């Protein structure tokens, strides 16, 4: 049994049962001990007898055995009594004083019996007491294991509130220290050290990294907790894990870093990468965003810079997240930003220059080869050839790239062989990131000011394709007096990106579609030097989007007016201002005479503007109270929060510009004006509370409750309670737990309810009117008003009931640390659209009538070790989740492709056909059941799963879906991350791998098949098509519009599993003795790379992360970067 002890002013360590003695003055303590001694006598110690049989036991264990079997308790100091000394005792019916004589024989320990107290002292205790009366001042320097100074280290006299922190150079000075006192040195991520003063005036310390910081403070809902006392499932990410990587956003840096948190990339478009994060799988078939809080106020992961982040906490289960009620169903991410610290001014610069190279792009075929293949595809389809032999000969002749059109002398016929991927997309583009931060503080004021500039050039050679971001953050803290502290955070963020206004950038018939599939016949410039074709379209106009966010938060803390009591008042104001401006000019094609317009690359001009404004107000009032009774420790939290959200939007568009270079509404045709606007508002308010209890940091309990209300619901359904309960048991703290190699063992369990309020419309409970101009009366377009959907006053929150069990294990002084969790979530009030007969004449609202079950597990393992100057660590995390649509009152349709909702199946299930290679002979075609009227040798052979007379989808129902089979679902499973770190003296190395163990998806068949249409040209991968001489091909025979061969099937559904070298980094810190000559505190240079390599079975032209059903995606890039970390 482990005793919790406190330091006595005399150097005594007092068991917790005597904690009240600590509150007495020294003189009172001495008087009381003397008084008890006068009343007491030693007869009780002489008359009390007991038997002990202890082998290889410590002195501490002997003393505990005596306490357990008698009414005695011991007072002693571990500084002067060696309680870890091993002894053997075999005693039968012996008095306590005889036991003590034997226990301490041949040692310098004496004891005195005072009633039921036994005071253990050394023979020179009087000298120790005299030393305790002396007060000295101690100075020193604290460094890390590389010898670099550690600013911000807490230095305190053990058992007192006397303390300080180190300055920027790692120096400290602390006075009024007992000469025989003990100094405690603590710093996040470092092993806490205790050093006996012993009269020294100078104490330096080199701190070591802690394997796993159990005493580390972790951000939780509306507060912090020691990691050792957590009962919920919380994962943390530290600042250094996000730093110095050539990523576009913070959310990208989180990919693979947190077990159970799945981050996916939707695109490579600069500024529009469309990263999404999902915590512990699907929670709803509807919107399920993750709640992100930055310093306690809601925000966005993509609008806070990694350089400004101190730590990230991911709250995954109900015990951790239920305090946020209706906003927490998708999980909660808490971001704590960096603050200033007392000491001299510190200036840091972090710069990173990156070269990005596009990856996994299709490669067009030479034009002559395309012509031959297309003739064959048309022949197989029973169509006439598209290319004459003489045309193909001219295409293959490098000296012929155009000739005058014999039917139109003012036009040209093109015979080029251009690779538009090479012509339109850069091989490499730059990216740069610069951050400057200034921090410092005085006794009562701290500050940190940070500014960041980021630029990422896009891949297009023609037209605008660029992303720039600017941000600034100011964090101020002021101690008004010893009770009151005021903190204020102000931030500004701007994200702006440009792209061509002609067409969309991705998808069918998009700009990327044209780059990948446009015929290489056509040039970029006519023989007269005029830009033409696709290049003219891309440069005809630009879309500029600017997204600004202004945030101001203030927090007032009032602490210890009553010991343990704390008040917090938070006010936040956020303003978002998003603007878009787009113009498009006409792009005529000028004929050979240099003046006549013979066609248009773009015939329509336009000017467009939009504006979005969001104003969000936050208010929170919190009361925290800490109280301990002996080994019983309590923490209580009560709070109130209010949020108000206001949204306004308008857009306008016009055509018919008087002059293409005057793209303004003033110069547009008034009759073409179109405009619309939208306004929305909602509000949330809640009261909430939390009770946390632990007994000796061994038995842990926590309860949370939140009473949430929203203006989105009718009054009778507006409020709901979201509770949670959790338990923890640190088995390793039990006295009977004696596994020397195991330093930590904790069991956790939780249950709770979370809410999903983001699925609610602002005004679903009242009938809403809409307007339209689609009605024709008397031959003219007229406006009319109508109700589009029935009101739903009964609609309520989606409520997710979640359970979690977990285990934390530490081995070898926590060098090896393992965490595992299993969870189950039930969304029993899920909103679903119920199918009603169309005779109602109006849409019906969604009802709380569905149920979704999600379950899964996750684990992480970390090993850290230091061997002299060499340190290394390896971390691995793995997580999986599955789901089932248990109840769904909508219409179940099983169709070819992705089926979002089928009762009894996972959401986003893919159904398709099973295949059996290609038809190799006419006899095979004849003997097979009917597939298509055009099926022939070289076509895909589909398996007849239901033994009927044709291949089809049956009635597309659960009971009869014909030959369709389940081919998996689009959700990524077995998500993992592997990190390896090593450092030696000034060198450091990091490698980070991230991957997915299982995922299925399919791409749009227009992107996959050659000659989906006559103008959709193939890639180099399509060379491997079926012919009588190439029967084991990847693609079937060429067939223009051959959609019958590209049905969704196991042949085309992609295996999206992959492992990717997400980041690798090699750095060197220049020795301080060199940099200090230039006035530089620290200088580190490094090389790093992002997305450098992957292994996957996905078709080589596709990113395994690409969204389901997409096509012609903007490619992601591989980044190669050089960076500098500089500190003054």
Same domain, 152 and 109: no
Determine, yes or no, domain membership for 523.
no
Q: Which residues of the chain have pLDDT under 70?
A: 1-47, 77-80, 106-108, 114-115, 122-133, 146, 161, 168, 188-189, 210-215, 836-840
Coil, helix or strand at residue 306: helix
User: What span, in angstroms and rounded, lies between the C-alpha atoms of 710 and 692?
Assistant: 28
* Containing structural domain, residue 34: 5-130
Number of folded domains in the chain? 3
pLDDT, tens only, 444-496: 899 999 999 999 999 999 999 999 999 999 999 999 998 999 999 999 999 99
Q: What pLDDT does 988 receive? A: 94
Where among 88, 104, 130 does a domain terminate?
130
Determine, yes or no, domain membership for 1094.
no
Task: Let me know if 801 is exposed, middle or buried by CB neighbors in 10 A (0-12, 13-18, 19+).
Answer: middle
* Closest to 696 (Cα-Cα) out of 654, 732, 724, 663: 732
pTM passes above 0.75: yes
User: What span, in angstroms and rounded, lies between the C-alpha atoms of 870 and 988?
Assistant: 10
Same domain, 55 and 67: yes
Q: What pLDDT does 991 receive? A: 96
Please identify which residue in the block is written with the tokens 């239901």: 946
Same domain, 152 and 82: no
Instruction: Return the ∠ at Cα 760 (arms to 492 and 707), rounded to 5°.
Output: 85
- Which residues, listed in sequence order, are joined to residue 1090 by a DSSP beta bridge? 1063, 1119
User: What span, in angstroms and rounded, lies between the C-alpha atoms of 1016 and 1009?
Assistant: 9
Q: From the CA atom positions of the chain, what is the Rg in Å?
A: 36
Coil, helix or strand at residue 777: strand
Contact call for residues 675 and 620 (beta carbons, < 8 A): no
Same domain, 104 and 190: no
Determine, yes or no, domain membership for 53.
yes
Same domain, 56 and 164: no
Determine, yes or no, domain membership for 788.
yes
For residue 1 the two structure tokens come to 């049994």
Q: What pLDDT does 125 receive? A: 47
Same domain, 103 and 74: yes
Same domain, 88 and 164: no
User: What span, in angstroms and rounded, lies between the C-alpha atoms of 57 and 193?
Assistant: 26
Determine, yes or no, domain membership for 431.
no
Strands 987-998 and 973-984: antiparallel
Determine, yes or no, domain membership for 505.
no
User: What span, in angstroms and rounded, lies between the C-alpha atoms of 87 and 108?
Assistant: 16
Determine, yes or no, domain membership for 30.
yes
For residue 981 the two structure tokens come to 């770190």
Same domain, 66 and 183: no
Determine, yes or no, domain membership for 640.
no
CATH number at residue 79: 3.55.50.30
Give me the phi and psi of 393, to 5 degrees please. Answer: -65, -40
pLDDT more than 90, % of the chain: 62
Q: What pLDDT does 390 receive? A: 94
Where among 206, 231, 255 does a domain terminate?
206
Same domain, 138 and 126: no
* Closest to 310 (Cα-Cα) out of 257, 238, 225, 258: 238
Same domain, 145 and 126: no
User: What span, in angstroms and rounded, lies between the C-alpha atoms of 1067 and 524?
Assistant: 44
For residue 345 the two structure tokens come to 């001014």
Q: What pLDDT does 878 receive? A: 96
Question: Would the CA dihedral through 883, 884, 887, 891 be positive or negative?
Answer: positive
Same domain, 103 and 138: no
Contact call for residues 714 and 777 (beta carbons, < 8 A): no
User: What span, in angstroms and rounded, lies between the C-alpha atoms of 1001 and 1102?
Assistant: 11
Where among 206, 229, 250 does a domain terminate?
206
Same domain, 43 and 82: yes
């Amino acid at each position: 049994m482990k005793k919790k002890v406190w330091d006595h002013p005399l150097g005594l360590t007092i068991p917790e049962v005597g904690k009240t003695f600590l509150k007495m003055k020294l003189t009172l303590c001495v008087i009381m001990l003397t008084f008890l001694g006068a009343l007491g006598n030693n007869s009780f110690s002489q008359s009390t007898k007991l038997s002990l049989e202890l082998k290889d036991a410590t002195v501490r264990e002997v003393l505990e055995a005596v306490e357990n079997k008698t009414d005695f308790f011991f007072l002693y100091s571990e500084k002067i009594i060696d309680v870890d000394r091993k002894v053997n005792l075999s005693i039968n019916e012996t008095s306590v004083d005889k036991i003590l004589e034997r226990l301490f024989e041949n040692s310098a320990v004496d004891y005195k019996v005072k009633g039921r107290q036994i005071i253990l002292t050394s023979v020179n205790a009087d000298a120790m007491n005299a030393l305790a009366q002396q007060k000295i001042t101690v100075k020193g320097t604290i460094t890390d294991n590389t010898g670099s100074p550690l600013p911000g280290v807490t230095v305190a006299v053990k058992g007192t509130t006397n303390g300080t922190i180190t300055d920027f150079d790692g120096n400290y000075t602390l006075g009024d220290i007992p000469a025989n006192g003990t100094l405690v040195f603590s710093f996040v991520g470092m092993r806490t050290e205790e050093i006996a003063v012993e009269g020294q005036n100078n104490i330096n310390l080199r701190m070591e990294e802690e394997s796993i910081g159990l005493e580390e403070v972790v951000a939780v809902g509306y507060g912090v907790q020691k990691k050792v006392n957590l009962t919920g499932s919380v994962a943390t990410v530290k600042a250094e894990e996000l730093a110095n990587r050539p990523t576009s956003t913070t959310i990208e840096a989180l990919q693979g870093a947190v077990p159970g948190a799945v981050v996916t990339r939707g695109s490579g478009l600069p500024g529009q990468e469309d990263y999404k994060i999902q915590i512990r799988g699907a929670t709803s078939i509807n919107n399920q965003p993750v709640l992100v809080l930055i310093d306690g106020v809601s925000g966005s992961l993509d609008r806070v810079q990694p350089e400004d982040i101190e730590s990230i906490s991911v709250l995954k289960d109900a015990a951790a997240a239920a305090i946020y009620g209706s906003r927490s169903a998708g999980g909660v991410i808490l971001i704590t930003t960096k603050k200033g610290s007392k000491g001299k001014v510190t200036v840091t610069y972090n710069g990173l220059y990156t070269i990005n190279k596009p990856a996994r792009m299709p490669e067009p075929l030479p034009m002559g080869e395309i012509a031959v293949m297309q003739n064959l595809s048309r022949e197989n389809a029973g169509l006439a050839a598209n290319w004459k032999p003489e045309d193909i000969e001219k295409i293959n002749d490098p000296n012929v790239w155009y000739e005058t059109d014999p039917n139109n002398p003012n036009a040209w016929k093109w015979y080029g062989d251009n690779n538009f991927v090479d012509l339109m997309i850069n091989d490499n583009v730059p990216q740069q990131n610069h951050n400057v931060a200034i921090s410092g503080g005085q006794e009562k004021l701290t500050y940190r000011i940070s500014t960041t500039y980021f630029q990422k050039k896009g891949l297009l050679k023609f037209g605008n394709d660029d992303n720039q971001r600017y941000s600034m953050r100011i964090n101020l803290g002021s101690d008004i007096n010893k009770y009151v502290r005021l903190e204020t955070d102000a931030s500004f963020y701007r994200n702006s990106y440009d792209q061509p206004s002609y067409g969309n950038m991705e998808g069918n018939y998009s700009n990327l579609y044209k780059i990948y599939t446009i015929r290489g016949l056509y040039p970029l410039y006519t023989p007269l030097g005029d830009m033409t074709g696709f290049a003219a379209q891309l440069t005809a106009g630009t879309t500029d989007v600017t997204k600004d966010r202004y945030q101001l938060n203030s927090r007032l803390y009032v602490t210890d007016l009553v010991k343990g009591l704390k008040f917090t008042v938070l006010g936040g104001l956020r303003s978002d201002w998003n603007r878009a401006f787009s113009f498009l000019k006409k792009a005529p094609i000028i004929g050979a005479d240099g003046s006549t317009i013979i066609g248009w690359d773009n015939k329509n001009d336009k000017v467009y503007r939009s504006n979005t404004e969001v104003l969000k107000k936050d208010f929170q009032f919190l009361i925290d109270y800490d109280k301990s009774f002996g080994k019983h420790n309590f923490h209580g939290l009560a709070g109130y929060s209010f949020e108000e959200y206001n949204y306004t939007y308008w857009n306008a568009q016009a055509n018919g510009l008087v002059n293409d270079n005057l793209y303004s509404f003033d110069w547009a045709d008034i009759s073409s004006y179109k405009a619309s606007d939208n306004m929305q508002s909602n509000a949330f308010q809640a009261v909430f509370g939390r009770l946390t209890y632990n007994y000796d940091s061994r038995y842990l309990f926590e309860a949370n409750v939140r009473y949430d209300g929203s203006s989105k619901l009718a009054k009778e359904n507006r409020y709901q309670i979201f509770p949670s309960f959790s338990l923890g048991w640190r088995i390793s703290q039990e006295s009977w737990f004696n596994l020397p190699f195991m330093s930590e063992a904790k069991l956790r369990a939780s249950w709770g309810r979370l809410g999903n309020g983001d699925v609610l419309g602002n005004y679903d409970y009242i009938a809403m009117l809409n307007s339209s101009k689609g009605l024709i009366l008397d031959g003219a377009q007229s406006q009319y008003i109508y109700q589009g959907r029935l009101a739903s006053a009964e609609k309520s929150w989606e409520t997710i009931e979640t359970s979690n069990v977990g285990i934390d294990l530490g081995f070898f002084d926590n060098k090896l640390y393992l965490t595992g969790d299993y969870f189950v979530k039930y969304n029993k009030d899920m909103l679903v659209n119920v199918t009603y007969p169309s005779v109602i004449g109006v849409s019906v609202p969604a009802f709380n009538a569905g149920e979704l079950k999600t379950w899964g597990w996750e684990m992480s393992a970390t090993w850290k070790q230091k061997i002299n100057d060499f340190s290394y660590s390896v971390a691995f995390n793995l997580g999986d989740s599955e789901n089932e649509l248990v109840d769904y009152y909508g219409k179940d349709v099983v169709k070819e492709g992705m089926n979002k909702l089928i009762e009894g199946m996972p959401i986003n299930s893919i159904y398709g056909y099973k295949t059996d290679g290609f038809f190799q002979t006419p006899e095979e075609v004849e003997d097979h059941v009917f597939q298509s009227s055009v099926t022939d040798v070289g076509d895909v052979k589909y398996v007849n799963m239901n033994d009927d007379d044709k291949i089809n989808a049956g009635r597309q129902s659960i009971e009869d879906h014909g030959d369709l089979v389940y081919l998996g679902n689009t959700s990524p499973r077995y998500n993992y991350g592997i990190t390896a770190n090593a450092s030696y003296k000034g060198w450091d190395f990091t490698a980070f791998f991230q991957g997915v163990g299982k995922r299925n998806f399919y791409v749009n068949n227009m992107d996959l098949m050659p000659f989906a249409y006559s103008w959709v040209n193939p890639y180099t991968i399509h060379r491997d098509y079926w012919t009588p001489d190439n029967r084991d091909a990847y693609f079937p025979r060429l067939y223009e519009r051959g959609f019958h061969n590209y049905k969704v099937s196991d042949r085309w559904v992609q295996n999206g599993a992959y492992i990717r070298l997400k980041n690798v980094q090699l750095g060197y810190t220049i020795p301080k003795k060199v940099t200090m000559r230039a006035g530089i505190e620290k200088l580190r240079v490094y090389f790093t790379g992002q997305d450098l390599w992957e292994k996957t079975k996905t078709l080589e032209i596709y990113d395994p992360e690409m969204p389901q059903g997409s096509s012609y995606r903007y490619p992601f890039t591989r980044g190669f970067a050089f960076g500098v970390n500089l500190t003054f």
